[in-house]
Structure 1
Amino acid sequence: MPTTAVLVIDMQNGFVHRDGSLPRSGMAVPGIDAVLDATTRLVAAGRATGLPIVYTRHVYRRNAPEMSPRVRAAFAPVLATHPHMLTRGTWDAEVVDVLAPEPDDVVVDKHHYDAFLHTDLELMLRALGVDRLVVGGVLTNYCVESTVRSGVERGFDMSVAADCTAASARFHGPSLASMEAMFATVGPWNELLPAP
């Protein structure tokens, strides 16, 4: 069985589509078109070499009761105009069409930045024989970094595809540098996949 999997974090309409709840609220992800293009190539290359493709979706109930008070305060302007923000079962919460999961892919729903926290992600990865992850997704300094740090603590070898992640310029580079210093190999996606 393969030991490497591709992990695509939160590439959902609500985050990355121009009509998603966050972009429509003035919180668009910088450079997302190039990141979506690179991530599409990463996923295609992973499929071509038979690697498992794993997606996460950050989802809430309507009005997001799962949010902590601090996070709720930050997203209050979005929720005021988009109470369906990332609501499970809505278009906003679905993975963007260009990266849509295929029937054999694993999709893990989460409520926290760390994709391992209170989910079956680790169980699914162990069942697939995975011990190394090549990670892309949004946002670099929130869900990507939280998941990478948590993965290391669980004994996974973590790699971050820098060209498949995005956040504001203020946080993107420092987050990648922080992960590279201790927690992950960081580089372009095509340098991180195992040889065919």
Structure 2
Amino acid sequence: MNRMGVEWNPARSALVIVDVQNDYCHKDGSIAKQGLDVSMAEQMLPNLKQMIRTCKENNVPVIYIQTIHEDSTDSKTWVKRLKNKSQKDLCRKNTWGSEFFHLAPEDEDVIVIKHRYSAFINTRFDSVLRAMEIDTLLMAGVSTNICVESTARDGFMLDYDILLLSDCTGAFTREEYDMSLKTIDKFFGSVTSSAEIMESLKREVQV
């Protein structure tokens, strides 16, 4: 893994940042309060911020995916996923926990609100990508094995090319992270790194 063995066109690509929000990433957020390890989210942040800067410098759109939960979207089936009742406060509408974690979308960035694991389920995400003529998704964010992978899988099924940035994503255990990268790289896209993407952009500029 971690190789650029696929062709990609920056003019038809977007950086997709999934769920980098306080409840998922902050030491005082809902996930950390459940006893889960959020350190990978903190560790990936410098790489992600550099990737955001590089994308903007090269006119690659940045799309933020933000989870918002509220009573109107909490179906009985969806709520059944909550084995731990403390999760009921996760990313609730208009709370600190739902706000972005050390990231600040700019006016030209796109924010897509989702209510399920995948950013494609009952959202405007696919319409936004089609309107922007995007066919390649540079995937970043958390959690690698849940919302990032769910979005990557659905994107692949809708004929988007998936490039998962291994150093710009994180899970709550190393085992879950590693398993997800293997699954995506084998079946749903390619795993690379922000460094390799940035290097390929430099080469394109020099040509």
Same-fold call, TM cutoff 0.5: yes
In the alignment, which of 143, 148, 152 is matched to residue 147 of structure 2?
143
Residue from 106, 118, 121 that aligns with 2:122: 118
* Per-residue deviation, 1:180: 0.3
Shift of 1:170: 1.9
1:60 aligns with: 69
Which of 18, 21, 24 is equivalent to 1:9? 18
The answer as to whether partners of 1:151 and 1:158 remain within 8 angstroms in 2 is: yes
* Structure 2 Cα separation of the partners of residues 185 and 129 of structure 1: 20
Equivalent residues in 2 for 1:86-101, closer than 5 Å: 86-96=91-101, 98-101=102-105
Using the alignment, how far apart are the partners of 1:12 and 1:127 within structure 2? 26
Runs of 4+ in structure 1 displaced over 6 angstroms?
A: none
What is the rounded CA distance, in whole Å, between the counterparts of 1:65 and 1:153 in structure 2?
Answer: 25
Find the residue that maps to 2:11 and give its secondary structure: coil
Are residue 34 (structure 1) and residue 30 (structure 2) matched? no
User: What SS is found at the alignment partner of 1:51?
Assistant: coil
Larger displacement relative to structure 2 (102-111 or 23-32): 23-32
TM-score, structure 1 as length reference: 0.89
Shift of 1:121: 0.3
- Residue by residue, what CA displacement relative to the aligned partner does 1:21-46 show, whole Å, maximum 9, x if unpaired? 22123223242222111111111111
Once superposed, what is the RMSD of the aligned Cα atoms? 1.9
- What corresponds to 1:154 in structure 2? 158
Give the aligned residue type for 1:88: K
Q: Tell me which residue corresponds to 2:31.
A: 22
| Number of aligned residues | 190
What SS does the aligned partner of 2:82 have? helix
Distance 1:181 1:122 in 2: 24
Write the distance in 2 (CA, Å) between the matches of 1:40 and 1:107.
17
Q: Is the partner of 1:19 in helix, strand or coil?
A: coil
Partner of 1:133: 137
CA contact (8 A) 1:8 1:56 kept: yes
Letter of the 1:128 counterpart: M
Correspondence for 1:180: 185
The amino acid that maps onto 2:86 is P
SS in 2 for 1:8: strand
TM-score, normalised to structure 2, is 0.85
Structure 1 residue ranges without an equivalent (≥5): none
Trace 1:65-104 onto structure 2 (pairs within 5 A). 65-66=74-75, 68-73=78-83, 75-79=84-88, 83=89, 85-96=90-101, 98-104=102-108
Which one of 193, 196, 199 corresponds to residue 191 of structure 1? 196
